Each structure stands twice: as C-alpha cells, then as structure tokens.
C-alpha cells in the first residue's frame, strides 16, 4: 500500500472486536516483527493473550486510565533508552503497524511510563520488559478502515486549494487536529518559517502536508523540519521528553515512505550527537538529516 494512501487514512483505534486475528495474518505480522528484530537493543514481541495484559494494566495504562481492550498486543522494549535507539525502535514498530493496517487491523500505541517495574515484571516475567505496547485487532467500527471515513486531501490540487488547512482529516474524534503546515517547516534556523510558496517550489508540499497525520504521544506533534540549503533536518521540540524521540522515529518512517512514493529517493541519517539547544523559549534538538 502506498504511504500516501496509508497516511491519509490511518488513525489510532481504541475499540476492538474481541475476536482473534487470523492465524495466517499473525504469521505475517510476526514475520515482519521478526525481520525487524535483528537489533540487540530493541525487542518486539507479539502477545496472543490480550485478556491477561488488559486486566493487569487496567487503571495503569491506556486512555484516561482505562486500558485499551484489544485481543492481542505487540510489545516494544528499548533496552538502553538512548535517543538513537528510541528512534530506531519506533521506526521498526511503525513498519509492523503498517503491515497490520494492510491486513485490515487497527492499532494504538500505549505508553507504559506509569507502570511500575514490579508490575511489568510480574506480567511479562523474563520475556520482555516493554516500554510501549501496541493494541492490535479488528476495529469495532469496520467503517473506520473500510469506508474511507477519514478521507482526506492527498492531491496537490487539494493542497493548493486549502494549503493552510490545519487538519488532514475531517473528523470529530479522538485523533485530534494537526499543526499548521506553516508551523512545521523552517528555513535555515528556527528564526524563519519557510513560506508556503517555497515549500511548493521545492516540491515538498505533499510530503509535509501528509506526514502531519503521523501519530504522536498525546498528539503533541513535537516534530519540526529545518531546510538548510539542499538539506532537510528533522528536529524535535522538548528533547527532555524521551517519548519525543519515539515520535521522531515514527515521523522518519512516514517521511521516507511518502518521499519514495513521490519519487524522491533518500534516507534519514540519525545524528551521532543529538544535542539539546534553545532558540528563544523553544527547546529543541536536531535528530536526523535526510540524505537525498
């Protein structure tokens, strides 16, 4: 599935049919997670028995204290919790999530930051010590994935008609709005916003327009792009919040995918030194450079 199509349509799903995922589909998912698992500092594991996990974590994780009730979960452990590994971990998890979407499944990230080590140990034993879960299953409202309820503006024409639209998707639900395009892209430094005309002239409008529909923790959307000459840097705001590096990895996965869709070959290079900086009252870090 094209990233353009996927990113236009995706949303977090918090209500699931409590029926099991088809065996063949589980195999495919595990295959993707396994292939992506070849990294000692990152572990992704699929858990079939959602009920035990849901019951153990109710009141401790989920949505407003209510654990998201899905038939199964994926667990992500980032062993050293440093910036680069967080980025790689979420990039990989998001690839598994895209596969899930292609199989007609809904997903939702769940932060386990407020769950104690003791609770995690008694639930997952020595198998894994996850930092995040992803709920996974068939969405309760099938329409969410099938009817194109979240249809969007994915063409240049739509972009040109409504370049300042703050939302990609028309919806009044829990997904939340997205930041304006003009607040997302900067030129040379945080001092100057890149004009809409220049974004369009450089041929980036569709990419920047669509990537805003990436999920982020609490919909905080900490990602910003700084275009310096021919280079594009991904920056995140508030780098003291480690979860923002998870959001950065997700953003990198989508950006690359859409870039490839529109014929731009390239890859993000995560910076070796990720430093916290400040511009006026804004705290930020550059995290990666896009190599064309």
Binding positions for ligand FMN, rule: CB under 6 A = 11-12, 14, 61-63, 108-111, 175-176, 215-219, 243, 246-247, 250
Which residue lies nearer to ligand FMN by CB, 152 or 284?
152
CB of 78 to ligand FMN, least distance (A): 11
Q: Are strands 72-78 and 132-137 parallel, antiparallel or unpaired?
A: antiparallel
Which residue lies nearer to ligand FMN by CB, 205 or 247?
247
CB of 132 to ligand FMN, least distance (A): 6
CA–CA distance, 204 with 223 (Å, rounded to integer)? 16
How far separated are the first and last CA of the chain, in Å rounded?
Answer: 23
The closest residue (CB) to ligand FMN is 215
Q: Are residues 79 and 41 in contact, defined by beta-carbon separation less than 8 angstroms?
A: yes
DSSP state of 77: E
CB of 213 to ligand FMN, least distance (A): 6
CB of 53 to ligand FMN, least distance (A): 14
Which residue lies nearer to ligand FMN by CB, 106 or 227?
106
Which residue lies nearer to ligand FMN by CB, 74 or 227?
74
Residue 253: exposure state from Cβ atoms within 10 A (0-12, 13-18, ≥19): buried
Helix (H, G, I), strand (E, B) or coil at 161: helix
CA dihedral 273, 278, 282, 288 (to 10 degrees): -20
Largest CA distance in the chain: 55
CB of 86 to ligand FMN, least distance (A): 9
Which residue lies nearer to ligand FMN by CB, 132 or 268?
132
């Amino acid at each position: 599935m094209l990233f353009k199509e996927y990113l236009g349509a995706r949303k977090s799903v918090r209500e699931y049919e409590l029926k099991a995922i088809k065996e063949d589909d589980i195999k495919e998912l595990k295959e993707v997670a396994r292939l992506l698992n070849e990294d000692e500092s990152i572990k992704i594991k699929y858990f079939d028995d959602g009920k035990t996990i849901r019951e153990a974590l109710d009141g401790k994780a989920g949505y407003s204290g209510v654990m998201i009730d899905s038939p199964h979960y994926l667990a992500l452990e980032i062993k050293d919790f440093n910036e680069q590994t967080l980025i790689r971990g979420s990039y990989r998890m998001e690839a598994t999530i895209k596969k899930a979407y292609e199989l007609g499944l809904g997903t939702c990230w769940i932060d386990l930051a407020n769950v104690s080590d003791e609770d995690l140990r008694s639930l997952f034993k020595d198998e894994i010590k996850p930092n995040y879960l992803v709920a996974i299953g068939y969405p309760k409202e099938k329409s969410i994935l099938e009817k194109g309820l979240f249809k969007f503006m994915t063409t240049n024409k739509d972009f040109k008609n409504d370049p300042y639209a703050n939302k990609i998707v028309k919806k009044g639900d829990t997904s939340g709005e997205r930041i304006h395009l003009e607040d997302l892209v900067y030129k040379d430094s945080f001092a100057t916003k890149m004009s809409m005309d220049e974004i369009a002239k450089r041929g980036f409008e569709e990419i920047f327009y669509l990537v805003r529909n990436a999920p982020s923790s609490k919909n905080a959307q900490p990602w910003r792009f700084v275009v310096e000459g021919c280079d594009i840097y991904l920056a995140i705001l508030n780098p003291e919040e480690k979860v923002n590096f998870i959001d950065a990895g997700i953003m990198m996965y989508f950006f690359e995918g859409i870039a490839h869709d529109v014929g731009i070959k390239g890859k993000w290079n995560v910076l070796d030194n990720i430093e916290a900086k400040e511009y006026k009252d804004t705290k930020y870090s550059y995290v990666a450079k896009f190599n064309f």
